[in-house]
Every structure is written in C-alpha cells, then in structure tokens.
Structure 1
Amino acid sequence: MLIKVVQKFMENRKPFTLRYPLILWNGALAAFSILATLRFSVDPLRSLYVEGFYKTLCYSCHPNDVAAFWSFAFALSKIVELGDTMFIILRKRPLIFLHYYHHAAVLIYTVHSGAEHTAAGRFYILMNYFAHSLMYTYYTIAAIGYRMPKWVSMTVTTVQTAQMLAGVGVTFMVYKVKSEYNMPCQQSMANLYLAFVIYITFAILFIHFFVKAYIVKSAKKSVKKD
C-alpha cells in the first residue's frame, strides 16, 4: 500500500537525484553486512567444529551468545532495508516484483523464525549477511558513479541465486531429519514449509532475473551488432 501511495505522489513530479544519501545508505548497509558476516560466522563455524553438523542444524545458539545479538540485529536490518524500495520509487527507477516481494517475504519469515528460535536460521542468516555484503558494496560503488564490468553484477546475482538454492538444500535436510529419521530439530513444520515456499520462489525469480538480465539482453545486443 505504501509503495502505491508514494508512486502516486511521485507520478507528476520529477525524480529525486538522492546521490549522496544513496551512497551513505548503501555504504552503511555494506559496512554493517560485512561486520555482521565476520562476527556471526564464528558461531556456526565453531558449532560445526565442536558439536557437529546435526546439532548445528537442529539446535539454535544460546540466547546469551554474541550470535543471538547479531540474529536480532539481522531481524532489525530487514525493517531498515525496506528503505531500498523508497529510494527506487523516489528516483522513479523501475521497481520489479522480485525486489519488493523479496523484502516483504524475508521480513515476515525472519520475524516468524525469530519467535521460534529456528535453529537452521544460523545458516539462513549467515548466507544472507554474506550476499548482502557483496550486494551493498556493489550498490555503493555504483552510486558513487563508477561503472563496473558486467561480470561483477553477474557474480553478485549468482551469489544471491546460490544462496536461495542453498536455502532449499538446508531446509530439505531439516525436513529429512524430522520426517525420515524422526529426530528432534528446532524448527516447526509450519516454519519449514514457509522456508520451502520462500526459498523455492526466490530461486525461480532470481534465475529468471539472471536469464533475462544477462543472457537474453546479451543475445539481443549480439543480434543488433550483426
């Protein structure tokens, strides 16, 4: 609703430039994501080394651990990142479905997972922090005005797509532990099904975006040149 209201407000107005606010915005989120990746990664890596894969997958971090703070910071960052959409609308740039669906769905799922202390969230959070480290760094450099080679944006999109496919893989492993092996795992079936829906739809949308942005466009440019 807010997207439609602001788009209506901007309908007959000139787009805002917002260059410096955009540089600061993306730069701050890039710095946050990089720091969070480095700090949060200690928890699942240590857990994998000390406790093994099963406990890391099926038992969440202790609520007093540093990882719990960065999990909470992750949830808050999903609210902050909604501002990305406002920058697009105020600058009157194309707003694709993938963008706002991704932001809304991740926020909803993060809140649901946080309420349940979903154990597999360790992997979901770390993957997202890492992907956003690359993404917001790329956006910051682009906002400054530096035109990067095509392979850089392709790499960022590839990492995002790989994150979604890995999310499907992690969710499937939890499903097998709970259904086939009948072992306890700290993730409700409702949260598990929600993760399946979100990660599968994300994977499809990101693959579609990759094909459309890099393969179809490249093919069209080649035809024009010929």
Structure 2
Amino acid sequence: KTQAVTMLREAASNILKLHNYLYLRTDARIRDFPLMQSPIEMTSILLAYVFLSVYVGPRLMANRKPFRLNTAMIVYNISMVLLNAYIVYEFMMSGWGTTYTWRCDLIDTSYSPQALRMVQVAWWFYISKYIELLDTVFFVLRKKQSQITFLHVFHHSFMPWTWWWGVTLTPVGGMGSFHAMVNSAVHVIMYFYYALSAAGPRFQKYLWWKKYMTAIQLTQFILVSIHISQYYFMEKCDYQVTLWIHLIWMYGVFFFLLFSNFWIQAYIKGKRLPSSEDKPKQNGLTSEPVAVVANGKHLENGNAHHHTNGKILLGKVKEI
C-alpha cells in the first residue's frame, strides 16, 4: 500500500513538472489567451467531442426524428465564410502581404504590432477548428451518422490538438504559417458552397462548379508542399523549429495523394459516388466506398446515401 502511494505521488510530481515545463516553454505572447494555458483543457474537450460524436450522439438520436436545421446551417456556413475571410486577411496583414518574402521567412519573436497581430490570427485559426466541431453536431442531429467517418473525426480532433502545440511551444509565424492561411482561403470557398447547398433545391443550379472543389483542394496541397519544400533546397534558412517544416511537408503530400486518388477514381475512371436511389447494400454498407473530404464533410452537405448502424466508417477521400 505504501509503495502504491509513493508511486502515485511520483506520478503526480512528474505530471506537475511536465505542466510547469510546458508553461515555461509556452510563448508568453499567447499564454493568456483562452485554451492556451494547458494541454489538459483542450485534450479534454477533444476527447469529449470524439465520445459524443461516436457514441453518445447516435444513441440519443436513435429513436428520434432527424432535425431540419437548414436555417441554422445557412447561418453557420455564412459565419464560417466571414470568419475564414477575416483570418486570411489578418495573415496577409501580419506578414504574407506585407513584409514576407514567401521564401525563408523566419518567426518574429518580438512584441512589434505586426508580430502580435500574427500571434492573434494564429489563435483565431486555432479557435476556428473548435467552431468547426459543429459540423459533426449537425450530422448527429440530422442523423447523418454515415458521414461521421473515421477521417472526419480524426481530422476534426487532431487538427486543433496539433495546433495547440504548434502555437504554444513554437512562436507562431514565418514560413510555417503559410499552410494555415491557404487552408482558411479554401474554407472560404468551401463554406460558401455549403451555404448554397443548405439553402435548398432552388440554389442547386448555382452549384455547377462542385467538381472544381476537388481541383481547389489539390491546388491547396500543391501550394503548401511546394512552398515548404523550398526549405530543403536553400543554402541556408535558420527557421527556428525545423520539426514543423517536416510535419507540414508530410501533411501536404499525404493529403495531395488522397485527393489525387479520388480525382482519378471519380473523373478519370468515372467511378462516381452512389446516388440516393442506388446500389444494394452488403451487411449494411454500400457496395462502393463512402468518401469524405479532408475535413470529413460530404459534398452533398448531408444529402448523400447513408445508413444507420451508428458505426464510424473508414472512408476514402471525396471531393468537397
């Protein structure tokens, strides 16, 4: 018993030391922002999100009729368009449209107005990933559980979790922030598409460009990969935390391959996604793979063929 108590005390002491270490390593300019003090709060929120979206939500809705949330979804999607447009503008004004060279741009660790502006927009980008968790809430309330795929849940939880470490332990900015600006720009287009889609059948004629959303996503990953790849060919670039350079490059290449595979399957081989009247199911699953976008959303904004077994599906990538 005494040994167990001693082990618990040592474990608690080590956790406290880790917490203090992280606190001291945290960028002092962002330390007092909401959800920035400790990884415990944000990890708890994201674990709760996974539990609610995978287990609790589907069971609460099992014997209830799906909610019609078109108005709420329109307001939400338009709000996300405006938020992401603001984030893009702030990234541009924080360096990308003013002082950056778009090559070896280092992190500005000073307290200059522009450096503080970069810290603030990085925080807004981080917070926007929590707001995007509402994507899943809408799926649950509308009983579109088939759209809550493994990729959807993984992306929505992993993205804010990794960004906490990136923003706190690495002073944000420089060439490592380019992918966030590009991602927000794509989300402006994406959420605008979803707003039109949620507005009803009378707006379907304005959605002729949905095929090109995949091309826009592919362009995003090409831009991010090319930009960050410059680091490997420069004679000298003293970017302060090279680990994030490698991670961003891997992220860009990984999702480029996923979306390229979808493009080949959908537009070259002609294997389009199943329609609502379509193919028979085998063991509750459609005979073709369910596909999702990088952020886990379905192109039809919830109108795709679905099933109600409440299980997460490991889907292939789908256009946005």
1:169 match: 226
What secondary structure is seen at the aligned counterpart in 1 of 2:238? coil
Q: Is the Cα contact below 8 Å between 1:30 and 1:132 reproduced in 2?
A: yes
| Aligned-residue offset at 1:55 | 4.4
What secondary structure is seen at the aligned counterpart in 1 of 2:272? helix
Residue 123 and residue 147 in structure 1: after superposition, are their counterparts in 2 closer, same or farther (change >3 A)? same
Report matched runs for 1:60-209 at 5 Å: 60=108, 64-65=113-114, 66-93=117-144, 94-95=146-147, 96-115=149-168, 116-118=170-172, 119-145=174-200, 146-148=203-205, 151-177=208-234, 181-189=235-243, 191-209=244-262
* Per-residue CA distance 1:189-209 (angstroms, 9 max, x = gap): 2x2333233323322233334
- Provide the C-alpha distance between the structure 1 equivalents of 2:142 and 2:74, rounded to a whole number of angstroms: 14
**TM-score of the superposed pair, with normalisation by structure 1:** 0.80
Amino acid at match of 2:184: Y
Say whether residues 1:59 and 2:107 are aligned partners: yes
| Aligned-residue offset at 1:147 | 0.8
1:223 match: none
> Over aligned residues, Cα RMSD in angstroms?
2.7
Amino acid at match of 1:72: W
1:4 match: 54
| Aligned-residue offset at 1:185 | 0.8
Runs of 5+ in structure 1 lacking a partner? Answer: 221-226
Bigger share in helix: 1
**TM-score of the superposed pair, with normalisation by structure 2:** 0.58
Q: How many aligned positions are there? A: 212
Residue 86 and residue 209 in structure 1: after superposition, are their counterparts in 2 closer, same or farther (change >3 A)? farther
Percent of aligned pairs sharing the same letter = 24
- Provide the C-alpha distance between the structure 1 equivalents of 2:261 and 2:205, rounded to a whole number of angstroms: 22
Using the TM superposition, name which of 30-39 and 95-104 deviates more: 95-104
Runs of 5+ in structure 2 lacking a partner? Answer: 1-50, 276-320
What secondary structure is seen at the aligned counterpart in 2 of 1:206? helix
Q: Is the Cα contact below 8 Å between 2:231 and 2:237 reproduced in 1?
A: no
Residue 60 and residue 125 in structure 1: after superposition, are their counterparts in 2 closer, same or farther (change >3 A)? farther
Q: Is the Cα contact below 8 Å between 1:36 and 1:129 reproduced in 2?
A: yes
Bigger Rg, structure 1 or 2: 2
Residue 19 and residue 61 in structure 1: after superposition, are their counterparts in 2 closer, same or farther (change >3 A)? farther
| Aligned-residue offset at 1:33 | 1.2
* Per-residue CA distance 1:91-132 (angstroms, 9 max, x = gap): 122314443333233223322221202432331121011101
Using the TM superposition, name which of 131-140 and 87-96 deviates more: 87-96
1:33 match: 84
Q: Is the Cα contact below 8 Å between 1:34 and 1:130 reproduced in 2?
A: yes
What secondary structure is seen at the aligned counterpart in 2 of 1:17? coil
2:42 match: none
What secondary structure is seen at the aligned counterpart in 2 of 1:40? helix
| Aligned-residue offset at 1:134 | 0.4
